[in-house]
Amino acid sequence: MKFLSATVSLMGMISGLLAAPLISNTSTLDVTAIMDYINVARSSAGVTNLTYSDIFTTDAYHQVQYLNQIRQLTHDNPAGNLTARLENQGHALTYAEENLALGDTNEAGVVKAWLANPDTRVRLLDPRACQVGVAHLGRYWAQAIGCLVGPATTSTTPTTTAAAASDSVSTTPLASTTPIATPTTTPTPTTTSSTTTPTSSTSTSSTTTTTTTTTTSSTPSSTPTSPPPSTDNGSNTANQQLVLDLVNGHRADAGLSPLVLSTSLTQLALAQSVYQKSIDTMTHDNPAGSLGTRATAAGIKWANIGENVFRGPQTEQAAVDGWMDSTGHRANILGASYTAMGIARVGDFWTQNFAELR
């Protein structure tokens, strides 16, 4: 395994704000797992745990995309080095560091390798650090670590506020941007329909996933009125066509191809919403395994897969708006490689799955 690490240090606010370019969220990473591995190592070293940062993760995604394009391990980038990239985004920070790696490994393996290298270990265990973002694409890994200050600081659960009926409700979509590793098995893909009919329930969550390509057409049609929620604990109450139309509207604005509704992805989303409701907790975890594991077990043949989750008695419009306001969730919705989507709501729990089906 090869490594690169870099450190930059600056103080105060950085002027100038540039919008980050759209990225294709095809990374293969379990954020929850890698955060656990990092923080276990830091706890053992007697330093404080890190929180997940959307800002650092977005930068790491851009870097691994570039590394994958040029097939070379480097801290350089057409947008500049780590310092320049953060400056161009107008973020305030006390310092920032970057670790890179190249190799066929998993979350545990890359953290172990970073800890085994003196330079990358110092950065990983730096007591000044308070936040981290990690991305993985192909054989390339990037870790941005440091401490953002002021309004630029993000946590693992960014909060958005949306209105449900006449009440103002605080919603907390999970900011995971958690790519899932491509499975080694090749189960038979299931065909999907672009007009699946919702049953009853609510759901939310954000993570990226890949899945089998669908045979349905891509253009959404009507935007029917959302059905009223049901008290049924296991039925899907999401207006799937409406969510698809809203998502494809944002993708069209970004110059991306539309998604189609996938029955298999919707069933996958429904199962996750049912589980979240059963434990009354918004999560990407599931006793049946990771998103990639569950998709493969369901017979979905995928190349990239992602997931967004959300909790709140909101409308479809409010749920999509909340996701679009979060960097990680927005990256899933605007994932250039995705071809299909599934959506489910059970109670207050929404789950949205994306995939590049094959």
Residue 141 to residue 137: CA distance in whole angstroms: 7
Q: Which 8-state DSSP code applies to residue 128?
A: T
3-state SS, residue 173: coil
The CATH fold assigned to 31-148 is Pathogenesis-related Protein p14a (3.40.33)
The pLDDT of residue 351 is above 70: yes
pLDDT in tens, 249-262: 999 999 999 999 99
Residue partners of 47: CB distance under 8 A and separation at least 6? 125, 126, 127, 129
All CATH 3.40.33.10 domain ranges in the chain, comma separated: 31-148, 240-357
Residue-wise pLDDT for 183-216, tens only, equals: 222 222 222 222 222 222 222 233 333 222 222 2
Fold of 240-357: Pathogenesis-related Protein p14a (3.40.33)
Question: Do the beta carbons of residue 332 and residue 207 sit within 8 Å?
Answer: yes
Pairing of strands 340-346, 349-357: antiparallel
Tens of pLDDT, residue by residue over 263-321, are: 999 999 999 999 999 998 888 888 888 888 899 999 999 888 888 888 887 789 988 99
| Residue 280 to residue 340: CA distance in whole angstroms | 28
Helix (H) or strand (E) holding 228: none
Beta bridge partners of 8: 96
What residues contact residue 152 under an 8 Å CB cut-off, 6+ apart?
55, 90, 91, 92, 93
Q: How far apart are CA 223 and CA 245, in angstroms?
A: 7
Confidence of residue 161 (pLDDT cuts 50, 70, 90): very low
Residue 55 CB contacts under 8 Å (≥ 6 apart), including other chains: 86, 89, 91, 131, 133, 148, 152, 154, 327
Distances (CA, A) of 358 to 90, 103, 209: 39, 25, 13
- Other beta carbons less than 10 A from residue 186's beta carbon: 9
Confidence of residue 234 (pLDDT cuts 50, 70, 90): low
DSSP string, 292-311: HHHHHHTT--EEEEEEEEEE
Percent of the chain with pLDDT over 90: 27
For 57-77, how does the pLDDT look when each residue is reduced to its tens digit (9 = 90+)?
889 988 988 888 888 888 888
- Alpha helix (H) residue ranges in 128-213: none
| Cα dihedral: 240, 245, 246, 250 (round 10) | 140
User: Which residue in the block uniquely carries the two structure tokens 């390509």?
Assistant: 213
If pLDDT is split at 50, 70 and 90, which confidence band does 50 have? very high
Q: What are the phi and psi torsion angles at 148 (to 5°)? A: -80, 150
